Amino acid sequence: MKRKITLIETVDFFGIDEIDGERIENRYIIGYFFDEKKIEEALCYYKEYKKESEEIVISEFDFKCSKYQKYVYVLFYEYSLIVDGEFQDFYEHFEPLSSYKKCLKTKNELLKNTKYQIDSKKIFDDSKDGFHIEKIKINFFLRFSHR
């Protein structure tokens, strides 16, 4: 079954990297949602608690899953480089998938691309190749009094 799933994130934009032309930003995933009421609840909540410099970004994806899907699986790619004696962190996440196995398949495809291959200049903190998979509950977001 194919459904629309909504991703809500906060994004703090700092500029464009002069070296590769990519955006310099911090992203925080608020959650993935099917339920419109939960989307409105999360938006109201985070509008109150987000930093002034952050914007809330909403993305929709076609999501192939079972009728009773409770989680999404998200593939992340993270590494650091030392540039002019300082660490620069790089972070990317991909479209949500309905299973861990599908994330592994995506990872294996991405590893064929030069951008995602292991390079002696890349520093990987949490894995040997920069990739990790997170299981995220659908229609759920964390509440906090301050960040």
List pLDDT tens digits, range 25-38. Answer: 888 999 999 999 99
Say what the pTM is. Answer: 0.87
55-90 as b/e, with b when 16 or more CB fall inside 10 Å? eeeeeeeebebeeebebbbbbbbbbbeeeeeeeeee
Q: Quote the radius of gyration of the chain (alpha carbons, Å).
A: 17
3-state secondary structure of 139: coil
List pLDDT tens digits, range 94-140. Answer: 999 999 999 999 999 999 999 999 989 999 988 999 999 999 999 99
